[in-house]
Structures are given as C-alpha cells and as structure tokens.
Amino acid sequence: MSNLNGKVAIVTGGGGVLGGNISKSLVEAGVRVIILDVRQENIDKRIDELKSLGEISGFICNVLDIDSLNGVKDKIVEKWGKIDMLINAAGGNLPGATLAEDQDVFDMKVSDLNRVIDLNMYGSVYPCLVFGKVMADQKYGSIVNVSSMATYSAITRVPGYSMAKTAINIFTQWMAMEMALKFSDKIRVNAIAPGFFIGDQNRGVLINPDGSYTNRSIKVLGRTPMKRFGDISELNGIVKFLCSDEAGFITGAVIPVDGGFSSFSGV
C-alpha cells in the first residue's frame, strides 16, 4: 500500500474499542492522528497508550454538536493545515435502545429511539459536513464511515440502530457522489460494515457474565461461515486501503468485514 506517512487523520470515537484500534494502526503507519471523543478519560487513555508509537493528539468533542465540531475544525486546520482522512467511528448501540428478549417493538421508548438514531446517523453526518468542507476546499481527502451488519437484513432487538446505520449507507453513497461531481475525484467517501466484534457497547448481549456465549452469540456464529467473531485488528487493513492511493477509483462503497455473515443465508 502507498505511503500514509505524514497524512493527517481525524478519528471520531477514537477513544473507543474500534476507533482506538484503527487509530493505533494509523499511528503505526506514520499517520498524524487526532482523536475526537466525548469522554475525556477515553482520550487520555488512548493518548497514553499510543504516544510512544507516533503522533497522536485528541480533542474533547461531541459529534452531535455542530459548534463543538466547528471549534475543533478551526484548531485542527490552524495547527495541521489540512485533513487527509476522516474516520467516523463514534457511535454504537445504546442500552435503552436495545429491546430486551421479552419486549416487542411496541415497548420501544421513543426518546431512546431518537437518541440512538441521532448518534448513529447525525453523529457521522455532521463530521462529514464540517470536515468534508475542508476536504472540498482543499480538493482531496478520504472519508470512511462505520456502518453495520444491521443494514443488510433485520437483526432482532436493535431497530433504531439498524435504521440509523442504514441511513449511513445511503449517506455515504450520496456524499461520494456529491464530492466527486461537484468538487474533486480526489475526494472519496466509503464505509465499512463490521460484522460482529466484541466491543464495550455489545459485550453484554454477546458474552454472559461467566464468559460463555449468549444465545445471541450462538445464533450469530451459526450465520457466520468463519464461525468466529472478528478480531478488532481485522478492520485496520481495509481502513488504510480505503484511504490509500490504491483505492483511488473506489468511492460510495460499503464494504462488509464480517467473516461472511452478510453473504450467507444460514442454510
């Protein structure tokens, strides 16, 4: 893969499990990584972990707050002068928005539904607008959104999350079209759709307190030809590839990284 050394990347949710691991792999590739996270302790933890490997910085930022995003954008442009890459990893399901086993769709609390849709839809749309504008002005850049398996066919218990991530798929295509048609063919917008990886926000529904798999895990693995969960490091290659020159003609793609889950009927 071509050299990413010296590129400037923003990773939203970089304090979390997937965003943190992606940040690590980018730092190791010589990328100057700026993580944005709403939780200061997550930023501090990540910077402590990665600072010996290369250039890593962080800002507290709420991806749902345009003013917060604009404030950080000004600081980034002033200090780094450009934005080569934006990885939108802030997001995830929220406990209140996950239906319990014994609940049905009519038990869904509208306030939780709205919160999970906001985070997983606008939480990527707004950074695309704020940092994408910098890319439109400089006429280059690569954006990677994080979609989900919950967009290919219905997955029980997570209606709001599924709707929001499905919106991200079409927004990725729409933004890819807009950037190439109106600004530059050097601005590309893609998404990855991770299969099942154990993260903080889904550990409780996949792993029992005693460490064994939940019934949901057993169903997931039954539908996954590779018969295992993903290792978080298995997202890093595709992110670096999508941001590299080798992916120069790839835009508007939503790429599953799922051990075959989305391509297998289960039969």
Ligand X SMILES: NC(=O)c1ccc[n+]([C@@H]2O[C@H](COP(=O)([O-])OP(=O)(O)OC[C@H]3O[C@@H](n4cnc5c(N)ncnc54)[C@H](O)[C@@H]3O)[C@@H](O)[C@H]2O)c1
Of 61 and 254, CB closest to ligand X = 61
Nearest of 159, 163, 255, 261 to residue 219 by alpha carbon: 261
3-state class of 11 per DSSP? strand
3-state class of 5 per DSSP? coil
What is the secondary structure of 116-185 as a DSSP string?
A: HHIIIIIHHHHHHHHHHHHHHHHT-EEEEEE--GGGTS--TT-HHHHHHHHHHHHHHHHHHHHHHHHT-T
Report in angstroms the alpha-carbon separations of 212 from 67, 86, 112, 201, 215.
Answer: 44, 36, 29, 17, 10
Contact predicate 241/260, CB 8 Å? no
Q: What are 132's two structure tokens?
A: 């994408």
Active site residue 152: no
Binding status of residue 196 toward ligand X by CB under 6 A: yes
Site map (CB under 6 A) of ligand X, residues 39-68, x = contact: x--x------------------xxxx----
Q: Looking at 7, 9, 10, 13, which residue binds ligand X (CB under 6 A)?
A: 13
Contact predicate 93/157, CB 8 Å? no
Binding status of residue 162 toward ligand X by CB under 6 A: no
Stretch that binds ligand X, among 108-116, 133-141, 196-204, 209-217 (CB under 6 A): 196-204
Stretch that binds ligand X, among 37-45, 130-138, 151-159, 240-248 (CB under 6 A): 37-45
Q: Looking at 9, 16, 69, 223, which residue binds ligand X (CB under 6 A)?
A: 16
3-state class of 224 per DSSP? coil
Site map (CB under 6 A) of ligand X, residues 77-116, x = contact: ------------xxxx------------------------
Residue 15 C-beta: closest distance to ligand X, Å:
4
Judged by CB under 6 A, the number of residues near ligand X is: 30
Of 61 and 130, CB closest to ligand X = 61
Name the residues that contact ligand X, by CB under 6 A. Answer: 12-13, 15-19, 37-39, 42, 61-64, 89-92, 119, 123, 146, 148, 194, 196-197, 199-202
Q: Which residues participate in catalysis according to the annotation?
A: 161
